[in-house]
Amino acid sequence: MTALFDAGADAPLLALPDGARVATRFAPAAEDMGFYALIDGAEHHAVVLRDGRKLSVLSDNLHAEITWHDPLAVDAAEDDHAGRLTAPMPGKVVAVRVQLGDAVKKGQPLVIVEAMKMEHTIVAPADGKVAAINANIGEQVDEKRELIALE
């Protein structure tokens, strides 16, 4: 069994069916992407399964579904300009993976922007065709700057 650590003041608050409880000890379970928690003196193990943005948490007789919201991800359903793909933050364009007129598939990487020492891949929100490329490799871009337009 994985050793638990004392989470102290940073102990996570877990929302359970019978109310919220503080996990007085908490540790990741590397073998199954889950965690161990000590709640009200009892040790619990939960398994976390990921399917895209959906997380399923399984523990004892509990099954919870969580949808992970990534504020930097483009969601075509929420974007009034779904064909306009913009920079999530100021950064440097390090790769452009498409050319004008290319047909693209949903989820296909189009542009990579480096920001805050991390690479952010801008992907196609839906199948389409590249209508415009508004960024060049090595170029500094501002947040919300249109990088690619799809039709």
pLDDT in tens, 21-35: 777 777 777 766 777
Query: For residues 142 and 43, what is the distance between their CA atoms, to the nearest angstrom?
Result: 48
Which tokens go with 29?
């379970």
Contact of 93 with 112, CB cutoff 8 Å: yes
Contact 113, 147 (CB under 8 A): yes
Predicted pLDDT of residue 6: 43
- Spatial contact of 151 and 131, defined as CB atoms under 8 Å apart: yes
- Structural domains for the chain: 5-67 (no CATH), 84-150 (2.40.50.100)
* Mean pLDDT computed over 32-49: 80
Q: How many residues does the chain have?
A: 151
Name the pLDDT band for 69 (thresholds 50, 70, 90): low
pLDDT attached to residue 95: 94
Higher pLDDT, 7 or 53: 53
Report the chain's mean pLDDT, rounded to a whole number.
Answer: 78
Q: What DSSP string describes 94-132?
A: EEE---TT-EE-TT-EEEEEEETTEEEEEE-SSSEEEEE
Q: Which residue, chain included where needed, has tokens 């075509």?
A: 76
The sign of the torsion formed by the CA atoms of 93, 99, 100, 104 equals negative
The region that residue 116 occupies, defined by phi over 0 for left and psi between -120 and 50 for alpha, beta otherwise, is left
Residue 1 has pLDDT above 60, yes or no: no
For residue 117, the one-letter residue type is K
Taking the alpha carbons at both ends of the chain, their separation in whole angstroms is 53
